[in-house]
Amino acid sequence: MEGVMQTETKIRAESGIESGPRGPGCSLRNFACEQNLLSRPDGSASFLQGDTSVLAGVYGPAEVKVSKEIFNKATLEVTLRPKIGLPGVAEKSRERLIRNTCEAVVLGALHPRTSITVVLQVVSDAGSLLACCLNAACMALVDAGVPMRALFCGVTCALDSDGTLLLDPTAKQEKEARAVLTFALDSVERKLLMSTTKGLYSDAELQQCLAAAQAASQHVFRFYRESLQRRYSKS
């Protein structure tokens, strides 16, 4: 992790729209997003990546329990609910990863002694679930109007047995993969906010995945931008 953080700072920001030869695995599935679809939460979004779908609701800044109050910033809570059964260790671990990512971008100091709650509901899991959760959380935070330093997105990469890089893998691809890496990147500097990996990979492969994730993040952020442009357009 430390090595990543060190080398990560040296990655330059990407520029331009890419063109050229494309591998079959190196594409993002079709994305869809709907904001403000729930009436009760302050902000909500449903995010779909292929068949993976996550619904997110955000409350806040709102009243906080005295026990959870932080005197100089907002308390950020993330709950992730699985579709079947009760939340277990895997959900807790993901919740923590998402919370840490959100904490890095949300300007909590502007709303001291309040709570910002992000509730995520898995609607269907067909691979790259954590990335989809991150994207849904970001869109819901935007919808709720929570002040943020930057937007963030999640990108999942998979390395299969012969080292081919796949972006936004499906559940089947994830299962067959040798390593699955998920990154959260911010929109301003395209830098790493969070990374979690599973499986074996070399340091060169890690850097390749990170570079690919950065390229993919451009598309995701462009999707965010166009989606918000459409929403706030007059026509």
Partner 1 sequence: MKETPLSNCERRFLLRAIEEKKRLDGRQTYDYRNIKISFGTDYGCCIVELGKTRVLGQVSCELVSPKLNRATEGILFFNLELSQMAAPAFEPGRQSDLLVKLNRLLERCLRNSKCIDTESLCVVAGEKVWQIRVDLHLLNHDGNIIDAASIAAIVALCHFRRPDVSVQGDEVTLYTLEERDPVPLSIHHMPICVSFAFFQQGTYLLVDPNEREERVMDGLLVIAMNKHREICTIQSSGGIMLLKDQVLRCSKIAGVKVAEITELIQKALANDQKVRKEGGKFGFAESIANQRITAFRMEKAPIDTSDVEEKAEEIISEAEPPSEVVSKPVLWTPGTAQIGEGIENSWGDLEDSEKEDEDEGGSDEAIILDSIKMDTGEVSNIGSQDAPIVLSDSEEEEMIILEPDKNPKKIRTQTISATQVKAPSKKPVKKRKKKRAAN
Q: Which residues contact 54 (CB under 8 A, 6 or more apart)?
A: 46, 47, 120, 121, 122, 123, 129, 132, 133, 135, 136
Residue 51 interacts with partner 1 (CB under 8 A)?
yes
Residue 231 interacts with partner 1 (CB under 8 A)?
yes
Could you tell me the smallest distance in angstroms from the CB atom of residue 109 to partner 1?
21
Report cis status (omega within 30 of 0) of the bond before 61.
yes
Residue placing its CB nearer to partner 1 in the complex, 101 or 115: 115
Subset of 139-158 contacting partner 1 (CB under 8 A): none
Subset of 10-39 contacting partner 1 (CB under 8 A): 10-11, 18-23, 26-39
Task: Give the interface segment with partner 1, choosing from 105-113, 176-184, 187-195, 197-205 (CB under 8 A).
Answer: 197-205
Could you tell me the smallest distance in angstroms from the CB atom of residue 119 to partner 1?
4
Residue 6, SS3? helix
Give the tokens for residue 207: 């850097």
CB 172 within 8 Å of CB 126: no
Residue 206 host element (H or E)? helix 203-231
Separation between Cα atoms, residue 105 and residue 60, nearest integer Å: 15
Residue placing its CB nearer to partner 1 in the complex, 149 or 204: 204
Neighbours of 165 (CB within 10 A): 19
Could you tell me the smallest distance in angstroms from the CB atom of residue 41 to partner 1?
6
Q: List contacts with partner 1 (CB under 8 A).
A: 2-3, 6-7, 10-11, 18-23, 26-41, 44, 46, 48, 51, 53, 55, 57, 59, 62-63, 79, 81, 83-85, 115, 117, 119, 121, 123-124, 126, 165, 167, 203-205, 207-208, 210-212, 215-216, 219, 223, 226-227, 230-231, 233
